[in-house]
Structure 1
Amino acid sequence: MNDRTVTPSPNSAAAASLRGVNPVALRLGYAGLIPFILGAALVWLVREDAHPYVTDGLSRYAAVVISFLGAIHWGLGFRQTVPSPTPFIWGVAPALLAWIASTMPAYAGLVIEGVLLIVCYLVDRRLYPSLGASAWLTLRFRLSAVAALCCFIAAQGT
């Protein structure tokens, strides 16, 4: 397996902010935005009778992604030399909240999921440095901003 990291040109500040991020994770992270973007667009393009399918699909995908963001804290928590319950407690909270949001009507649930994506980023911004994951914050910001915006746009279209 190749453990290469992104080696940006020294002139690119944006590329430099992603130094140390695995290029496979980078590509998959951006590819993970496709369902968010497609879902938000389809809410505005499909017939009214198809709305529930589009909004449910987007809400469920958002819930899975939010659960994944929480689960990352479990993995980072296992690496701690001084055990702390914080990453494990936080690791469960987003999944539970996203699950509740995914059972709500889309106009409310998608808003909650958009807010959860932002909150997850803010928590990560505070905790990642202490867990040795600072290199991921630029990518996390970009992915969270687009995903949250898509949830808000889709909620507005319901």
Structure 2
Amino acid sequence: MTTATLPMSLPLNPVAARLGYLGLVPFVLGMLLVWLLLGYNDEAHTYATLGLSIYAGSVVSFLGGIHWGLAFRQTVPSPQPFIWGVVPSVVAAIATLMPAYAGLVIHGVMLIVCYLVDRRSYPALGASAWLNLRFRLSMIAALCCFIAAAGV
């Protein structure tokens, strides 16, 4: 993408940042519940792991969808953000259907992969200001998925 086709830079929105941090609550709570319910209540433990997996899958899907929104802003459209934007949703759907010990690991890996892709693509799409927040949110969410997977 040449300089003439770069979209205007998108500043970090403080409301979105607060909501992003608030979005970590289900990750932390889910991870804690997985460990607190381990060996205590099998049915509740199953629901906690399933709930965390479903939430993680929806977040991973959302991260792919962001690429569609940013791609719509391009003055010279590239198919790459649209193609990549579908990948997280497909992987998240598969991971959600897997046993939680494996699916949560895949969700955690995808949160990291999505960040790495964003780190390469956000500057060209005018969203560099969001990368520090994305790093923090993604690493905490991924860590919660990995720790919860160890408790399944």
Q: Please list the CA deviations of residues 18-46 of structure 1 after superposition, one character each: whole Å capped at 9, or x if unmatched.
A: xx411100110000000000000111101
Where 2:88 maps in the other structure, the secondary structure is helix
Q: Is 1:33 matched with 2:33?
A: no
Q: Give the number of equivalent residue pairs.
A: 139
TM-fit CA distance, 1:70: 0.3
Q: Which residue is equivalent to 1:51?
A: 45
Where 1:146 maps in the other structure, the secondary structure is helix
Q: Which residue is equivalent to 2:71?
A: 77
Q: TM-score w.r.t. structure 1 length?
A: 0.87
Structure 2: state its 5+ residue gaps. Answer: 1-10
Where 1:107 maps in the other structure, the secondary structure is helix
Q: Which residue is equivalent to 1:151?
A: 145
User: Which structure 1 residue ranges, 4+ long, deviate > 2 Å from structure 2?
Assistant: none
Give the share of equivalent positions with the same residue, in percent: 73
Structure 1: state its 5+ residue gaps. Answer: 1-19
Task: Give the 5 Å matches for 1:118-157.
Answer: 118-157=112-151
- Indicate the structure whose relative CO is greater, using CA pairs within 8 Å and at least 6 residues apart: 2
Q: Please list the CA deviations of residues 22-77 of structure 1 after superposition, one character each: whole Å capped at 9, or x if unmatched.
A: 11001100000000000001111012412110000000000000000000000000
Residue type at the aligned position of 1:64: S
Distance 1:146 1:22 in 2: 20
Q: TM-score w.r.t. structure 2 length?
A: 0.90
